[in-house]
Amino acid sequence: MKVGFMGGTFDPIHYGHLLAAESAREACGLDEVWFVPAGHPPLKENGPEADGESRLEMVYRAIDFQPHFRAMDLELEREGTSYTIDTIKALHELYPGRTFSIIIGTDRVNDLPQWHEIEALAGMVSFIGVTRAGETFRPEQLPKYITDKLTLVDMPLLDISSTIIKERIAAGRSIRFLLPEKVHSFIRRNGLYEPE
């Protein structure tokens, strides 16, 4: 079984994440995409604003009734920094017989060489880079052990980010139709991301 691994802080999840996952699934013939909210992401300057439980709940709401999408809480359960290689090792043990492809936006593809134990990780998975609005991706700057494992997938560009959504909430603006309605209502009901 071919599984797409969609990591992220999902603070909050939005249509950019969902369309990236679906585009990768279709283009690469993935059986499923697993959404894995990060506990403590290593390459982000600030930690997530919403707690892990709320971020996971928003992922569940976003993928509800999608037969090919699943959410996994294993990074949230783990203490310390979330390194993808540790998660992939754990998934291989828990779910033998799966092959994993890590789905990332092109804004993050050029960071791959900085990932923890990247050479070992590249030996265990493949990478799917999905085009992200406003990003120029430079494959010539990547080492061969990554480009050998990298497939690029186009998606209709969606200029949506969690940052933009939080900025709009802080400014009292609408976030409707940037993310699924069930996520929108959860954010509103719980007052998430609103200024103190």
Nearest by Cα to 50 from 165, 192, 194: 192
Nearest by Cα to 159 from 129, 135, 183, 127: 135
Which of the 8 DSSP states describes residue 113? Answer: G
Q: Does 180 bind ligand ATP (CB under 6 A)?
A: no
Q: Does 39 bind ligand ATP (CB under 6 A)?
A: no
Among 56, 104, 121, 175, binds ligand ATP (CB under 6 A): 104
Q: Does 36 bind ligand ATP (CB under 6 A)?
A: no
Distance CA 148, CA 153 (A): 15
Minimum CB separation of residue 61 from ligand ATP in Å reads: 16
Nearest by Cα to 51 from 193, 194, 195, 196: 193
Phi, psi of 33 (to 5 degrees): -120, 130
Q: Does 25 bind ligand ATP (CB under 6 A)?
A: no
Q: Does 105 bind ligand ATP (CB under 6 A)?
A: yes
Among 27, 113, 158, 168, binds ligand ATP (CB under 6 A): 158
Interface residues toward ligand ATP, by CB under 6 A = 8-11, 16-17, 20, 104-105, 107-108, 130, 132, 158, 160-163
